[in-house]
Every structure is written in C-alpha cells, then in structure tokens.
Structure 1
C-alpha cells in the first residue's frame, strides 16, 4: 500500500477530531502545505492526568496557530 493510500484509509476511518487533524497533517506534510487554526476566545480545561479526580488548568486561546510544512531538499 502506498503512503497516499494509507493516508486516504486513515481519513476514511476517522471518527474523532484529533484523528482528523492527524490524518490531515499526515496527508499535507511534504506538499508545501500550510494549516492555520484561528481561535476566538476559546476556553480549554486541560487535565493534570487521567481519572475523575484530576485537577484542571483553565487555558484561554485567542489568536492564530499556523503549521507550515515543506519538503526537505
């Protein structure tokens, strides 16, 4: 199976947002692609660990995250 076919299979089997992001990044890597995420007043509670008693840090995101890929020569 080629890399392109494997990438397409991962996209076809995606069931979660993180899996979708990983598949998209894998597919675009090496193609001079740029992925831009823009956040407007996004709040995230980041757990300190797994389990019901984990403490959470409250993060606020307001801005842009840009991921750029390019082939190495």
Structure 2
C-alpha cells in the first residue's frame, strides 16, 4: 500500500470490529453522494443497557430497509 503525506495512521489501519468497519465505510463514502442500504427480514437485537452480565436488554425488531445517504456540505 502506498501512502502520501496526507494519509494518517488511522486511515491506514484495517478495521478489527463491525463498528470500525461501518465507520471506515461511511468515512470513505462521505462526499461521494453514496447511499448505503441495509435490508432486514425479521431481525431481532437485544441491546444491553450497560456492559456486564447483569445488564438489562431492550429488545428491538427490525423488518424493513434502513438507508444512509452521505453528502458533503
């Protein structure tokens, strides 16, 4: 991989988790008028209230499409 002086260490590192991958993809597409579209079919997610085994969970159900559109101001 070749880099120039404007490339930061953070831009050069590979994502190691799903959140990092999402952030990297969003940053790459920002300013390119891109739309990221996710389609879910009866997806169920348990969202923890905090970190730890004693966390309570909110139960979300997603059935449909989520679109994220990027643009540069």
Q: TM-score scaled by structure 1?
A: 0.81
Q: TM-score scaled by structure 2?
A: 0.81
**Structure with a larger share of its residues in helix:** 1
Instruction: State which structure, 1 or 2, has the greater radius of gyration over its C-alpha atoms.
Output: 2
The equivalent of 1:38 in structure 2 is 39
The 3-state SS of whatever aligns with 2:59 is strand
Aligned length, in residue pairs: 68
Structure 1: which 5+ residue stretches go unaligned? none
Distance 1:41 1:59 in 2: 10
The residue correspondences of 1:1-73 to structure 2 (distance < 5 A) are 1-2=5-6, 5-6=7-8, 8-10=11-13, 13-72=14-73
RMSD: 1.6
- Structure 1 residue ranges (4+ consecutive) displaced by more than 3 angstroms after TM superposition: 5-8
Structure 2: which 5+ residue stretches go unaligned? none
